Amino acid sequence: LLDPDGNYTDTDRARRRGLTLGPQQLDGMSALSGWLTPEARASLEAVLAKLAAPGMCNPDDDTPCVDGAPTQDAIDHDPRSPAQRHHDGLNAALRAVLASGELGQHNGLPATIIVSTTLQELEAAAGHAITGGGSWLPISDVIRLARHAHHYLTLFDERKPVVLYHA
């Protein structure tokens, strides 16, 4: 008889599971490594089958296709490697989860990307912002993210928050 689950138990797999997000490099990129459970892999495969298909979620397109089917032209002219499409598909899935509002709150705020930057960097559209998690984002990414975001503004004066009143 064959063991349908192989020689590994759920406990073995649970002990081994994990994802590690490496430190940001000088270019802002981060390595991701780890081990997925069979269930997590199956879930990721299903998401990537849709969102990482040729022509889907291409950030270089003027209006990236994120739902429905991409045009044949978008498919035919998609220069990205499978690894790049996987990245872009995962990024689109994460954006959709954040935009859905289904994550609820974290530390009293809606689960969202929180960034801090200066007015000068925003006005110049140059420099970088720091996220609530300590990562840095180029201002160009901050501006792009802000197009689809719910904005919360806090002003600081010499590192102290300025209380804003609404009458």
Q: What confidence tens digit (pLDDT) does each residue in 103-144 have? A: 888 877 778 888 888 888 888 999 999 998 999 999 999 988
φ and ψ at 36, to 5 degrees? -100, 140
Pairwise CA distance, residues 77 & 81, whole Å:
12
Structure tokens at 18: 């994990």
Q: Record the pTM.
A: 0.83
- Return the H-helix or E-strand segment holding 136: strand 136-138
Question: Which residue ranges make up each domain of the chain?
Answer: 1-22+29-100, 105-167
Q: What is the pLDDT of residue 146?
A: 83
Give the C-alpha distances (Å, rounded to integers) separating 54 from 58, 67, 75, 81, 95. 9, 13, 5, 9, 19
Q: What confidence tens digit (pLDDT) does each residue in 50-89 have? A: 999 999 999 999 999 999 999 999 999 999 999 999 999 9
SS (H, E, C) 122-134: HHHCCCEEEECCC
Structure tokens at 150: 């719910």
Please state, rounded to an integer, the average pLDDT across all residues of the chain: 89
Q: What are the residues whose beta carbons fall under 8 Å from the beta carbon of 127, sequence distance 6 or more? A: 117, 118, 120, 121, 138, 139
φ and ψ at 131, to 5 degrees? -85, 165
Q: What is the pLDDT of residue 42?
A: 98
Q: What confidence tens digit (pLDDT) does each residue in 7-30 have? A: 888 899 999 999 999 999 999 999
Pairwise CA distance, residues 167 & 163, whole Å:
13
| Residue type at position 113 | I
The count of C-alpha atoms lying within 13 angstroms of the C-alpha of 26, restricted to the half-sphere facing its C-beta, is 0
Q: Say if residue 166's pLDDT is above 80.
A: no
